[in-house]
Amino acid sequence: MTTLTETTPAAPPRPSALSAFTAILWRDVFVTGKELWVFLAQTALQPLFMLFVFAKVLNAGGYVSEEYSLLLLPGIVALTAFLTALQTVSFPLIMEFSFTMEIEDRLLAPLPTWAVAVEKIALAMLRSAASVVLMYPIGFLVLGDVPWHSPGVPLMVVALLLGGWVGAAIGLTLGTMVPPSKISIVFALIMTPLMFTGATQYPWKSLDSMAWFQVVTLFNPLTYLSEAVRAASMPHVPHIAPWISLLALAGFGIAFTATGLRGFRRRAVT
């Protein structure tokens, strides 16, 4: 007499945290590719108009020189990289925590809670880097030339990566701390000062005659990114020492990442 024993099929292996992280990041990159025109509109439209008006229109009217047009481009590149990273995290996160509740699906992934937030920072840094690649052809088309200094490329790459990190970390902080009903007023209070005190339209050293404003701009992390990009592409223009800019960006990145992760955990747990 033969006895048949039933065996329960083994459960599929649980994906590792790294595999889950990579899968979520790839999904977000894929979605960005599927909505490429939205990404282009979000990242390129505002800097394109700023560059056109400040560099071409004012230059045609004789209000600014050709040199200022080239001086402006590194600042616009820094601004684009910074804001792209900030907006990539902040706006979607506010909606996911309030309206769509899409964040719940991500929190169910086999990942630590903090890793879900880090994935958003990683995506923002990738989109920030893509926006920089986009800005140089736009600058060439508008200006007919772009400032370039080959030995400064390593400095520029490091500065833009750090700047994207800081922008994403600030976006994470805002996205987890600002309620949806207050988002319009908070962004009005933050974005405008951030854009116009970040040394994007002028070198920081040119503010020597306005010492109080020069000090104010030092509290804006965008100042250090603009100065580092300008130092990398136009080293003959007086600028903040690059090591100071990189150190300041790293400090802002650590501080805002810690704040953002704390806020993310608080919102995710509740």
Q: pLDDT confidence of 159, banded at 50, 70, 90? A: very high
Q: What pLDDT is attached to residue 8?
A: 64
Average pLDDT over residues 198-211: 91
Lookup result for tokens 């772009």: 146
Q: What's the per-residue H, E or C state across the chain?
A: CCCCCCCCCCCCCCCCHHHHHHHHHHHHHHHHHHCHHHHHHHHHHHHHHHHHHHHHHHHHCCCCCHHHHHHHHHHHHHHHHHHHHHHHHHHHHHHHHHCCCCHHHHHCCCCCHHHHHHHHHHHHHHHHHHHHHHHHHHHHHHHCCCCCCHHHHHHHHHHHHHHHHHHHHHHHHHHHHCCHHHHHHHHHHHHHHHHHCCCCCCCHHHHCCCHHHHHHHCCCHHHHHHHHHHHHHCCCCCCCCHHHHHHHHHHHHHHHHHHHHHHHHHHHHC
Interval 61-81 mean pLDDT: 89
CA atoms within 13 A on the CB side of 149: 17
pLDDT for 1 equals 47
Q: Cα(115)–Cα(107) distance, rounded to whole angstroms?
A: 9
Give whichever of 42-51, 175-184, 244-253, 258-267 has the largest mean pLDDT: 244-253
Is residue 115's pLDDT more than 70? yes
Digit-coded pLDDT (tens) for 77-93? 999 999 999 999 988 88
Q: Which two tokens stand for residue 120?
A: 């958003």
Mean pLDDT taken over the chain: 88
**Looking at the whole model, is its pTM more than 0.85?**
yes
- The tokens of 109 are what? 């992934």
pLDDT at 36: 84
Q: Which of 191, 221, 192, 189 is nearest to 204 (CA)?
A: 221
Query: Rounded to whole angstroms, how far apart are CA atoms 207 and 219?
Result: 15
- Digit-coded pLDDT (tens) for 124-138: 999 999 999 988 888
CB 94 within 8 A of CB 178: yes
Q: What percent of the chain has pLDDT over 70?
A: 94
Who has greater pLDDT, 100 or 194? 194
pLDDT in tens, 3-39: 545 566 666 666 678 888 898 899 888 888 888 888 8
pLDDT at position 13, please?
66
